[in-house]
Amino acid sequence: MIARTSVMHYKHTQQPIQQIGRDLGVEYVLEGSVRRETGKVRINAQLVRTKDEMRLWSRQYDRDLSSLLALQGEIAQEISDEIGLMLDEGRNRTAGEGKRAASPSSYEAYDLYLQGRYFWNKRTPAGFHQAAEYFQQAIAKESNYARAYAGLADTFALMSSWFLAPQHEVIPKARTAALKALQLDDGLAEAHTSLAVIAQNYDYDWQTAEKEYRRAIQLDPGYATAHQWYAECLSFQDALMRHSRRASERVNLIRSR
């Protein structure tokens, strides 16, 4: 990663992208601009390949300027996710013989997936229902889209935790979606995390939950949800052990009287 001080040197420069790439030793440059109006902000971002100055990706974001810090984090995450997908797919197309190029429907599915995660992260009843709809639309666009199945599994799992739907109705759907995601992509951290939270909250299978969380973190150390839910899993087990010890102490005390 290039230091911010090195990058900021080029903030107002007119140097060609190719020269900047050589100076910094980078293959890609992310350019952006921000326009503000009353209560609104428009952010334009584009990814440029330095060797030939080809624009590989661009996107425009229009947002309400209600919270600058939250907005900054939201846009940064969206840009990071979308560029990550695009570069990963590009590498896969180069390295994998016989793999098909990403179709327009796959990009549409990814957009739907991102919208699903946006509403899922709201953690509201309406948000969960909208998230499920977006994940299902993504699957309809791209039937082998593992991330969309993982998102659907997470949505059904939390809907049960929040008592928004009967457990016996949504947990089988969550499990089916998580297993489908793993079948499609066993190397997907989100899928292992989905299976782990089901094992944790509904099977009370701590061993499987821990194994799946550790696998998810191994696959993607930056996946925050896996870290958060794994910490909760360990905390629950610790609490259970403490209560179990207290119960044993009370039983022994009663027997000694």
The whole-model pTM stands at 0.59
Domain residue ranges of the chain, discontinuous segments joined by +? 1-93, 103-257
CATH class of 1-93: alpha beta
SS3 category, 188: coil
**Residue spans of the chain under pLDDT 70:** 1-9, 11-12, 65-75, 78-79, 82-105, 238-257
Q: Please state, in angstroms and rounded to a whole number, the distance separating the CA atoms of residues 48 and 18.
A: 10
Structural contact between residues 153 and 178, judged by C-beta atoms closer than 8 angstroms = yes
Fold classification of 103-257 is 1.25.40
Give the residue carrying structure tokens 């890609």.
28
Q: Per-residue pLDDT tens for 89-98?
A: 544 444 333 3
Neighbours of 205 (CB within 10 A): 14
Q: Per-residue pLDDT tens for 237-252?
A: 765 556 556 655 555 5
Q: Please state, in angstroms and rounded to a whole number, the distance separating the CA atoms of residues 171 and 191.
A: 15
Q: Please state, in angstroms and rounded to a whole number, the distance separating the CA atoms of residues 225 and 8.
A: 32
